[in-house]
Amino acid sequence: ALFNGGAHSCTVTNTSDCGSTASGLTGLLGDNFNSGRDFALFLSDNDTGQDVGSLQYYDDTGLVIKENEWWTFAASDTYSSSGSNSHLPISWLLYRDVSSVPEPATLALLGLGLLGLGFSRRKRLQ
């Protein structure tokens, strides 16, 4: 479970309703209490940069609209709305700090260089 909440998730790409209705999103969005964290937003593994956009949930249709590229929307605790036809926009900024990983060829060249230094030092000592 994410952040002590449900393990439900819905991946939204471009504009999608995740194949759910408002009642179908109950397990995803929570139990209608006004406490706790409402949403957890995560970048998809396909995205290595930064995303800015908005999520809009229309209570009367259950339509979830996402205005950007790849990301995953998951419930972390609770969700509530006001009125039967409420429109709940959520703005978000997500980024992933990507650290570079050395390539195997680079490591091999470094290893060969160190090996060469070791052999040259050994020859000098003999």
The β-bridge partners of 86 are none
pTM for the whole thing?
Answer: 0.22
State which residues form the domain around 47: 9-101
Paired tokens of 26: 């109950």
Q: Where are the alpha helices (DSSP H) in the chain?
A: 26-29, 104-125
> What pLDDT score does 126 carry?
74
Count of domains for the chain: 1
- Is residue 109 one of the residues assigned to a domain? no
What stretches in the chain show pLDDT beneath 70?
1-102
Q: Is residue 106 part of a domain?
A: no
Asked whether residue 122 is domain-assigned, the answer is: no
Structure confidence by residue, pLDDT tens digits, 52-63: 555 554 444 444
123 inside domain: no
Which tens digits make up the pLDDT trace of 65-83? 444 443 344 433 333 444 4
15 touches 54 (CB < 8 A): no
Residue 86: name the closest of 65, 66, 62 by CA: 62
